[in-house]
Chains A and B, each alone.
Chain A
């Protein structure tokens, strides 16, 4: 199985900060990587697919990059509604696997 390692596991940041979350795959996954946001008590929401494509309706402050084994989710200017958990997920091979998550907290 492909292991997805996210870092950091948590980050404290202020409104307006630039936040970067990384995800590393244990083997190459081309660009078959997605990013999700999850708020407490809610289902996850797709932010980025195919490593860098912004899902419809998602604010442009979210961006994704990378291919192969190393990927990044960037929030260019953190907004109050962005405090949540974020997960990466690979879809290159079954079983699809998720990173362990990154919690973005208020500093």
Chain B
């Protein structure tokens, strides 16, 4: 069974940093591209970032470009999102998501990052 378990969400002040982690199991992690998707409270879904299976290629939403960095460790079956220069509008549940045929087939339960003074 595919499992994606996020951690690292917390309350942080504007301008601060957070590092989210996602532990993957139940599939060969190194074979799949991965994404982060977020959802602000009561709002819709926003795609945040992508990394290919071998870390050769990454992509970011314009809203986070230059502030967030996606990475992965295939030996540890783990995905990461380093978030710097955080803004109030970055407050959201962050989901770790597995890529499948240009879609997102398995989602973690999410971790809440709150940016507030």
Question: Which residues does A use to contact B, with CB under 8 Å?
Answer: 1, 32, 34, 36, 38, 43-46, 49-50, 53, 55, 87, 89, 91-92, 94-101
Q: How far is the CB of B49 from chain A (nearest CB, A)?
A: 9
Instruction: Tell me whether chain B's interface is mostly helix, strand or loop, or mixed.
Output: strand
**A-B pairs with beta carbons under 8 Å apart, 15 shown:** A1-B62, A43-B109, A44-B95, A44-B104, A46-B105, A49-B102, A49-B103, A50-B102, A53-B101, A87-B44, A91-B103, A92-B102, A95-B62, A98-B47, A101-B45
Chain B residues touching A, range: 20 to 34
**Is B61 in contact with chain A by the CB < 8 A criterion?**
yes
**Is B29 in contact with chain A by the CB < 8 A criterion?**
no
Option from A32, A36, A95, A99 in Cβ contact (under 8 Å) with B104? A36
Which residues of A have CB within 8 Å of B107? 43-45
Add 17 more A-B contacts to A100-B44, A101-B44 (CB < 8 A).
A1-B62, A36-B104, A43-B108, A46-B100, A46-B103, A46-B104, A49-B100, A49-B101, A49-B103, A50-B101, A50-B102, A87-B45, A89-B104, A92-B102, A94-B59, A95-B47, A95-B62
Question: Which residues does B use to contact A, with CB under 8 Å?
Answer: 35, 44-47, 50, 59-62, 95, 100-110
Q: Are A95 and B61 neighbours in the complex by a CB distance under 8 Å?
A: yes
Which residues of A have CB within 8 Å of B61? 95
Known interface pairs A43-B109, A43-B110, A94-B50; A34-B44 also in contact (CB < 8 Å): no
Instruction: Select the residue from B47, B108, B110 with max chain A CB neighbours within 10 A.
Output: B47
**Bound complex: CA of A2 vs CA of B28, how far in Å?**
31
Q: Are B103 and A50 neighbours in the complex by a CB distance under 8 Å?
A: yes
Q: How far is the CB of A16 from chain B (nearest CB, A)?
A: 28
Instruction: Tell me whether chain A's interface is mostly helix, strand or loop, or mixed.
Output: loop
Q: Are B103 and A89 neighbours in the complex by a CB distance under 8 Å?
A: yes
Instruction: Select the residue from B46, B50, B61, B101 with max chain A CB neighbours within 10 A.
Output: B101
**Bound complex: CA of A1 vs CA of B62, how far in Å?**
10
Which residues of A have CB within 8 Å of B44? 87, 98-101
**Bound complex: CA of A43 vs CA of B107, how far in Å?**
6
